[in-house]
Amino acid sequence: MKLKFPWGKKKQLAEGVVTNATLDESREVLLKSAKKFKYQVQYEKHKVIVNTIIIVALLVAGAVTLGWYSLYVARLENNAAFLLSQVAPLPVANIDGQNVRYSDYLAQYLASVNVVERQEGAIPKDEDGDRRREHYRRTAMDNAILDSYALKLARELNIKVSRDEISVALAERRQIGETTVSDANFERVIRDSYKLSLAEYTRAFVELPLYRQKVAEQIDAPARQAVDDLRARLQDDGSNFEEIAQTLGDDSAVVVEQSGGAVDMMSLDGGRATVANAQEVNQVSAPFVSRSGDGYYIVKTTEKTRDGKVAYLSFFVPFTELENQVARLKENGKVRTYIKL
């Protein structure tokens, strides 16, 4: 009789010999030996995922910190900061619960600086230059706050600005006398003058002012009455324009302004150059609301040049109710700015 020992199978398996009798056992041994590779792959995969999450979190935190420092501490005022403020709609101020977009503030500030530097050269980096930049900053902040508050009131008053109204306003800006500037040339002029894209220009200088204009016009009845009385006194040929201007005292609600020489259509003058260009010399316009929405203008054209520039005199009747409401909110601590000007 042939004796069978239990260690015989183990020896066969160890030697790699598999028979029908040892098939199940060999499969079990094989699977057990493969588990260590399975667990190692699962562990490595889990480790890669965790490390990736940590790296992404650190990168996001770093980007957020850098962006916050750039806008709120360093207060960068360049195209990179403007792009950042557009990607992340961060607030630069708040009025009565309404956030003021950082990008709206920078669009106003950068456009003002670019227009001035295009006409006069770079603003010097001295004490006088610092004062000028501070003035542009405060003006940009005031405009951005007024625009945001106007948006808040527009929602409450159910005031809308349609795409058609925006298109009409843009078309008016493209019209110089009898000539209509092409889309491509208009965008080029905007880039050269303001360093803004057409979309950025449209929001800052068309859409938001239209909201402010509509709101201010609706809530400011005294300004409407004052401009109607003024227009009734003016003759159509503008011959008594200067005479009326001389009768207006310092306490008058009407402000007399002039262009200070011939200016082009892209001047930030509330649309006066465009209106003056569309009429004959000595002609007086009907009252119209400033493009910035801060009051009514009546314009008399005094000169038109061959290169499309114009000179003018104007009466300005400011809207006061909207600004008065903002001033009261400031007094009550309901206006906060998040950067130091």
Q: Are strands 98-101 and 91-95 parallel, antiparallel or unpaired?
A: antiparallel
Residue ranges of domains in the chain:
11-71, 91-219, 221-333
Q: What is the pLDDT of residues 152-168, one digit of tens each?
A: 999 999 999 999 999 99
The larger pLDDT score, comparing residue 172 to residue 5, is at 172
Q: What is the pLDDT of residue 159?
A: 96
Q: What is the pLDDT of residue 335?
A: 96
Q: What is the pLDDT of residues 196-215, one digit of tens each?
A: 999 999 999 999 999 998 99
Q: What is the pLDDT of residue 57?
A: 76
Provide the 3-class DSSP secondary structure of residue 55: helix
What mean pLDDT is predicted for residues 183-204?
Answer: 91
H-helix segments, the chain? 7-14, 23-68, 79-87, 102-120, 127-157, 163-174, 183-194, 198-202, 208-219, 221-233, 241-247, 272-277, 321-331
What pTM does this model have? 0.68
pLDDT band with cut points at 50, 70 and 90 for residue 30 = low
